[in-house]
Homo-oligomer: A and B are copies of this chain.
Amino acid sequence: MINKRITAKDVANAAGVSRSTVSFVLNNTEGMRISDETRKKVLEAAEELNYHPDASARSMVKGKTYIIGFVIRQEPDKAYADLLLSEVMRGISEAAADHNYHMIFKPVPPEDESNSLTTLFLEHQVDGLIVSGPLANDQEIVDLFNANAPIILQGRIDYPDIPSVDINNRKAAEKAVNHLINLGHKEIAFLSNASLSYSSSKDRLTGYRRALEQAGIAYNENLVFFGDRTPDSGYQAIKTILQSPIKPSAIFIASDTVALGCLNALYEKNIRVPEDIAIMGFDDIPLSKHLAPPLSTIRIPAYELGWNAANLLIKWLDKKEIPGQDCILETELIVRESCGLHQKKKKEQNN
C-alpha cells in the first residue's frame, strides 16, 4: 500500500491510454479534449490503483514546492514562552492545507549567521516564507525581499516595503493605557514584552507614551522597564520596580507571560492586585482569565494572524499578487479584575 509505488504509467497501462492522457484527465488541463469515455476509464483506473502523484516529481517540473516556511526569529529557549505560537501555526497550516500547501516550521535564532533563510530558497525547500518576530534591522530579510523572494512578516522591520500581517501594537497599547488612565491612574509604569529591537516592543512603548501624552501625563523614563518574554523576567522586574524612587499605582505589562511572573512576585511580597497596584497585560494567553486575579489584557487574534499571513502568501505564490498593503488585525480590550473590581460588570459580559 505504501511500498509499491504507483505511477501515472501504471494508470495509463490499466486504462489503455498514454501517460499524457492520464495527466490531462487528472489535472483537468485546459484546452485538452478528452472524450467522456476515455476520461471515465482513466478516473476509474486511478481510483482502482489508488494513484497519488509524486510530490517531488511534480515539484520539479512545476518549479514549485507547494511548501511554505514558518520561521520564528527568537532565542530558541524563549520561543516556547510565546503561548500563542501554536495558535498562529494552526492558522497557517489550516490555510495552507486549504490550498494544497504544506508548512515547514523552522526556528532560526536572531544571531544566526548562516543565511538559513536564503538557503531555504536556494535549495528550493520552500516557495515562500512567513517570518515571525523579525529583528528591526534584519538585513537578510531585506536582501531576500529585494531578490523577489515571497516573504510575509509578522512584525515590522526598518525596511518598509515588505508586506506584513500584524496587529496595530501602538493602538492596542494606547487602548490598554487609556483604560488605566480612565480608572484614575497617573503613575503608570511600562514593562516591555521584549527588547526594543523587536517592533512589537517598540510600538507598544510608543503607544504607552502617546496615551500618556494625550492625557497630559508627563513621560518618565524611570518608569520604563524591560522584560524578555519569560515569567522570570517579570518576576525580576517587579523587584526593580519596587525599588525605584517613584512608586507606580499601575503597571502596563506588554505580555501576559511576563505579567504572570509579576503577579507571582507581588503575591510573595503581599502586595494586592488590584487594591495596591493595578496590572494590565497584553496578549490574552489562554490562561490569563484564570489567573488570580483574572488579568485584564489585550486580546490578539492569533489564529487569524496565521491564517491571513498564509492566505496572503499563497495568493502571492499562486496569482503573483504581491500584497499592496499591510494587513492589520483588530485587537480587543478585555477587562477582567486586575485593574480594579469596580469594573466587575464589564468583566462578566466579557466572561
Chain A residues proximal to chain B, CB less than 8 Å: 1-3, 50, 52-57, 59-60, 65, 67, 70, 76, 79-87, 89-90, 93-94, 97, 102-107, 118-119, 121-125, 143-144, 147-149, 230-231, 234-235, 257, 260-261, 263-264, 267, 286-287, 289-292, 294
Contact = CB atoms under 8 A, between A and B. Distances in A.
B264 A294 contact: yes
B90 A107 contact: yes
Contact of A105 (B2, B93, B231): B93
B82 A86 contact: yes
B1 A104 contact: no
A246 to B, nearest CB: 25
Given A87-B80, A105-B104, A290-B261, A52 B235 contact: no
Contacts of A119: 52
Nearest to A122: B52
A194 to B, nearest CB: 15
Contacts of A103: 104-106
Contacts of A106: 93, 97, 102-103
B263 A122 contact: no
A90 B65 contact: no
A177 to B, nearest CB: 24
Nearest to A262: B290
A351 to B, nearest CB: 10
Contacts of A107: 90, 93-94
Contacts of A89: 105
Contacts of A60: 54, 56-57, 60
21 contacts: A2-B118, A2-B122, A2-B144, A2-B148, A52-B122, A53-B123, A55-B123, A55-B124, A60-B60, A80-B286, A86-B86, A90-B107, A93-B105, A103-B106, A231-B287, A231-B289, A257-B287, A260-B290, A264-B294, A267-B292, A291-B291
B290 A124 contact: no
Q: 7 closest pairs, A vs B, by CB?
A: A264-B290, A52-B122, A56-B59, A56-B60, A2-B147, A1-B147, A231-B290
